[in-house]
Amino acid sequence: MKLTHIVIALLVSAFLYLLVFERDRLTGFAAGPTENPAAGQADTTDKTGAESAQPDKKTVSVVALRSSAKSTQSAVVLRGRTQAARQVSVMAETSGKVISEPLRKGAKIMAQQVLCQLDPGTRPASLAQAKAQLIGAKAMLPEAKARIASAKAQLAGAEATLAEAKINENAARRLKEGGFASQTRLAATTAALQRALSGIEAANAAQQSAKAAQQLASANIEAANAAVVSIEKDIDNLTIRAPFAGLLETDTAELGALLQPGAPCATIIQLDPIKLVGFAPETQIDKLSIGMSAGARLATGREVTGQVTFLSRSADPSTRTFRVEIEIPNKNLGIRDGQSIEIAILTPGTLAHLLPKSSLTLDNDGQLGVRFVTENNIVDFAPVNIIRDSRKGVWVAGLPDTINVITAGHEYVVKGVKVDATYREVLP
């Protein structure tokens, strides 16, 4: 039984060998000898001629696209949201009861328009008192200046008396030494000299006191003036105004409400112009610069255009993306704050090829590129950089200006293989 199995296996192996490697001879043997040798020779000649006209069986048929590089603009596409140019919550800076009628949210507000008016209370009386104190303090200043002048005169008189006393004392001392004056006279002149010195000290003290009085009067004037300015500023804070033109996002404070410092009066937003805020990844931020043209499509389908006005220099720590701002006009206030948008920022034009997406492939190293046909019908590989997608295909850079890219059959050939290429000029 085992011998029979071995014989059958050998017969099957021989048949497979003839079928695969000696197929032509096996077919000729099955067909038998030809009846007309001449005709057979003619047929052989015709067959040989036909085979010579056919391509080599080792070549692979592929379809290639004759592609020429074209200038195309690429765009960095971002997703983001709209944001008001300015938004502020106007706060009270002093306490008081609201005495103005409230304005309702959605109302258009002009710059410096009154939003909330507070009750002044006793502030006018306090202001009048402060002004009176200021007048009194100013009245004290001339008197202090007069005291300084009097003290200066007193000092001058004391200095003259001192000079006279010194002369008398010196003369009495010399006369006493010559025996022409008595001890009593010398003692009297010495006492006069001491009184003159005391007068100098008293005059100096009076002058210092007068200067201190003048400084006090000046300080009182400054304090009274500061009190007046403070009360006037507090009275000005009773009128809460809009810092810029915009829309009320909230109602203003209700009539009769008591506002304390820091309490909100209203929230105002400015929507013209409006900002489009997107976030660019690290790989694309270097392609952008301030002043580039940009377009955006809102979730409603509306399309707007503007220019890049800000590029962040600091990445968001959680997403590692960079903030990009675009400013656009919004005269009719049709664009609201916080709407979702898709932003496309145009970058400078580059030379690129428009190829079918199916023509892209990977080499043995996993690098993305295309296989193309050289002038000798030999397959080669070239890496590419994808610029952007389009409806017709994908724009790629990194290739020569003209190239024959294999669009069909590229998965069955490798670099260095000879092919039989059929060319076309445009994408299917």
Task: Please write the tens of the pLDDT for every residue from 96-132.
Answer: 999 999 999 999 999 999 999 999 999 999 999 999 9
Is 90 exceeded by the pLDDT of residue 207?
Answer: no
Reduced to 3 states, what is the DSSP secondary structure of residue 38?
Answer: helix
Is 50 exceeded by the pLDDT of residue 10?
Answer: yes
| pLDDT score recorded for residue 112 | 94
| pLDDT score recorded for residue 381 | 94
| pLDDT score recorded for residue 179 | 65
Task: Write down all domains in the chain, each with its CATH number in brackets.
Answer: 63-71+350-424 (2.40.420.20), 123-236 (1.10.287.620), 269-346 (2.40.30.170)
Task: Read off the pLDDT band of 23 (50, 70, 90).
Answer: low
Mean pLDDT of 148-172: 74
Distance CA 31, CA 201 (A): 154
Q: Say which residue the tokens 């080599």 belong to.
A: 56
Task: Read off the pLDDT band of 370 (50, 70, 90).
Answer: very high
Mean pLDDT of 140-164: 76
Least confident of 155-169, 306-320, 366-380: 155-169
| pLDDT score recorded for residue 49 | 39
Distance CA 331, CA 271 (A): 8
Beta strands in 312-384 (DSSP E): 322-328, 340-346, 350-355, 361-362, 368-373, 379-383
Please list the residues that pair with 212 across neighbouring strands.
none
Mean pLDDT of 21-45: 47
Query: How many angstroms separate the most distant Cα atoms in the chain?
Result: 189
Least confident of 129-133, 184-188, 300-304: 184-188
Distance CA 155, CA 200 (A): 6
Contact (CB, 8 A) for 388 and 344: no
- Token duo for residue 192: 């006069």
What phi, psi does 199 have (nearest 5°)? -65, -35
Please list the residues that pair with 342 across neighbouring strands.
79, 297
Q: Residue 309's closest CA among 356, 264, 343?
A: 343
Is 90 exceeded by the pLDDT of residue 250?
Answer: yes
| pLDDT score recorded for residue 146 | 78
Mean pLDDT of 34-45: 41
Mean pLDDT of 408-421: 88
What phi, psi does 156 have (nearest 5°)? -60, -45
How many other C-beta atoms can be found within 10 angstroms of the C-beta atom of residue 117? 20
pTM of this prediction exceeds 0.85: no
Q: ∠364-369-373 over CA atoms, to 5°?
A: 95
416 or 2, which is more confident: 416
